[in-house]
Structure 1
Amino acid sequence: MRVLLVEDDSTIGEAVRDHAIADGHAVDWMITIEDAAAALATVEYGLVLLDLRLPDGSGLDLLRKMRVQTQAAPVIILTAHDQISDRIEGLNAGADDYLVKPFDLGELTARMLAVARRHHAGNSSSAIRLPGLEINQALRVLRVNGEEVALSAREWAVLDALATRPGAIVSKARIEDALYAFGSEIESNTVEVYISRLRKKIGRERVQTVRSVGYSLK
């Protein structure tokens, strides 16, 4: 999952970024509202981790702008503000969850997964079903010919990109966006490697290569 982290505390930012990367996510870490807004205009994120007190304003202003612009990426607020009124204001502004600093990184992982599941469930009332293939993005469950198959976080990132519109062509660049953060060095064959791994698990014939364009889930 591609994650946008908006946090100006270097210690917390590094810890959250490194932990999320270890969980298999691609993380873009921004310090200001301006940079975060620019990132949101460039990339489609699966989740936003948002601090409230930022050098150029309140994170709530960014959150409200996201919702006005109908940017549906789920948002978890990370803040030292522990007053009930602050939580209510954040949730009313469109946040999906609220985590008070200091927090356990294990709890952050659980909250991220829970929010992502709810988001997928809200966008789709049922699993994607294709001949011999069932993909439940909300629950992170994949079944091939009735048998449950385990995927790594990055394999899920590729499958999510393909399964958003089964049959449609997904560009290599779109898949790279799901796998990499800004500033990461993109190896030329990374997408091909994960496509190959996915084919081994769901069947080679189910992922079609459209030469010089991208890939399609059949």
Structure 2
Amino acid sequence: MKLLVVEDEIAAGIFLQEGLSEEGYAVDMARDAHEADEAVALYRYDLIVLDVMLPGKDGFTLCRQWRMEGVKSPILFLTARDDVADRIAGLDQGGDDYLVKPFAFDELLARIRALLRRTLSEPVPPILTFGELVIDTNSKKVWRSGELVSLTAREHQMLEYLAFHPERLITRTRLWEHVWETGSEPDSNVVDVYIGYLRQKLGRERIETVRGQGYRFKHEVESE
């Protein structure tokens, strides 16, 4: 899943980017309203974490503008403004959630997970089961035939995205866009390499190659 974090305080932005990246999210950063506008115009993010007090244009105004432009990404306000009136204003402008600084990082993660689950075309439970394969999207743990599978953050992010869309064709480009940060240099075969890593750990039959198009995550495999 790819997130946009809009935060003008450098230290806070680095903390959020590093923390969310460690949890397996692809994170783009914007330092002001102009950068945020440019990013949203170029890409449909799975979720936006938005500060309110920004240079140039405040977060409430940005949120209202994006909603008027048809931006559907869930927006979580993350701000030091803790008045009830501010919380109401943020939600009324089109925000989906509002978290006051200082905050517990685990609570931020829980709110992000909840918002992402709501936006899927078909809501999914936090624990996904595909025969012998069990994926806990909260703890980021995976079991195969009862054995814990060791995955890197990037591998888990790719697996989770595929598992959220079982039996659907997912192109290489779509995988790249959702798993790697915008602006990173695409490698011609990096997606294929990571698919190979997942097959080694989960079984080759679990992820089907659709020649010339992409991949399909199988809900069931013959070995089961």
Range class of TM-score, shorter chain? 0.7 to 0.9
Of 201-210 and 14-23, the range deviating more from structure 2: 14-23
Matched to 1:114, the amino acid is A
Gaps of 5+ in 2: 219-224
SS of residue in 2 equivalent to 1:48: strand
The structural deviation recorded for 1:170 is: 0.8
Cα deviation 1:16-39 (Å, max 9, x = unaligned)? 323333444322111333432332
Matched to 1:212, the amino acid is G
The structural deviation recorded for 1:166 is: 1.4
Aligned to 1:115: 111
TM-score w.r.t. length of structure 1: 0.79
Q: Does 1:20 align with 2:16?
A: no
Matched to 2:86, the amino acid is D
Aligned to 1:212: 212
Please give the residue correspondences for 1:67-82 in structure 2 after superposition, counting only pairs within 5 Å.
Answer: 67=67, 69=70, 71-73=72-74, 75-82=75-82
Of 63-72 and 86-95, the range deviating more from structure 2: 63-72
Structure 1: how far apart are the matches of 2:10 and 2:16?
10
SS of residue in 2 equivalent to 1:187: coil
The structural deviation recorded for 1:214 is: 1.2
Structure 1: how far apart are the matches of 2:63 and 2:109?
20
Cα deviation 1:69-122 (Å, max 9, x = unaligned)? 36143x33222323232123223432323132xx36xx23x1332023313443
Q: Percent identity?
A: 34
Contact 2:24 2:157 in 1 (8 A): no
CA 1:202/1:66 → structure 2, altered by over 3 Å: closer, same or farther? farther
Q: Does 1:98 align with 2:94?
A: no
Please give the residue correspondences for 1:21-36 in structure 2 after superposition, counting only pairs within 5 Å.
Answer: 21-36=21-36
The structural deviation recorded for 1:67 is: 4.5
User: Root-mean-square deviation (CA), in Å?
Assistant: 2.8
CA 1:115/1:54 → structure 2, altered by over 3 Å: closer, same or farther? same
Contact 1:120 1:138 in 2 (8 A): no
CA 1:99/1:21 → structure 2, altered by over 3 Å: closer, same or farther? same
Structure 2: how far apart are the matches of 1:11 and 1:146?
41
TM-score w.r.t. length of structure 2: 0.77
SS of residue in 1 equivalent to 2:176: helix
Aligned to 1:86: 86
Please give the residue correspondences for 1:1-218 in structure 2 after superposition, counting only pairs within 5 Å.
Answer: 1-67=1-67, 69=70, 71-73=72-74, 75-93=75-93, 94-100=95-101, 103=102, 107-108=104-105, 110-122=106-118, 123=120, 124-126=123-125, 128-135=128-135, 137=137, 140=140, 142-145=142-145, 147=147, 149-218=149-218
Matched to 2:97, the amino acid is D
